[in-house]
Amino acid sequence: MSALSIRLLTSAAGATAALVLSACVMVPINPDGSLYQGPVTSGVAPVVVPAAPTSLTLPVRLYPTNEAAAATGMVSGSVTSHLNGKGTFTLHVGGETMSGEATRSGSGSRQGVASAFGARGSYANCQYTMNTMSQGTGRCAFSNGALYQLHIGA
């Protein structure tokens, strides 16, 4: 056999091996023999879409509008909107924490009511209007006769 024949035979064998192996696919398997279902990579960076917020917490301030409220002074708290027309309402009044809920009047409505109750038996009922998603105003009446102007938001 000549050197040329050997080179041709070697090249043909290499081409045949490449052709046969090109149909082979490596399939990763788990130790138990099942197919590996890991992440598929395509060479393109994945797009990460942040999750939509599920709630929004806003500060609440109540300013006295009558003598009964002036005796206590400004009241602070928060409202946590669950972004579905309902929320959690919390006030801190004279060493007592009052909690309850806030509810919009209807689907897409800007008006709503908020109520809170304390461990000592006191309560507050408020009516409010949201001017934007994060700011609103209203009025609150307490069980002791105190009346307040309500401000929601920063």
Q: Closest Cα to residue 152, out of 87, 71, 69, 70?
A: 87
pTM of the model: 0.66
Residue with tokens 């000549």: 2
Give backbone dihedrals phi and psi of 12, rounded to 5 degrees, phi first. -65, -40
Domains and CATH numbers, the chain: 56-152 (2.40.128.120)
pLDDT tens for the 154 residues of the chain, in order:
555 445 544 555 555 555 444 555 566 667 776 766 766 566 666 677 778 888 999 999 999 999 999 999 999 999 999 989 899 999 999 899 999 999 999 878 999 999 999 999 999 999 999 999 899 999 999 999 999 999 999 8
**Surface-to-core class of residue 112, CB atoms within 10 Å of its CB (0-12 exposed, 13-18 middle, 19+ buried):** buried
Q: Are 129 and 149 in contact (CB under 8 A)?
A: no
pLDDT in tens, 20-56: 445 555 666 677 767 667 665 666 666 777 788 889 9
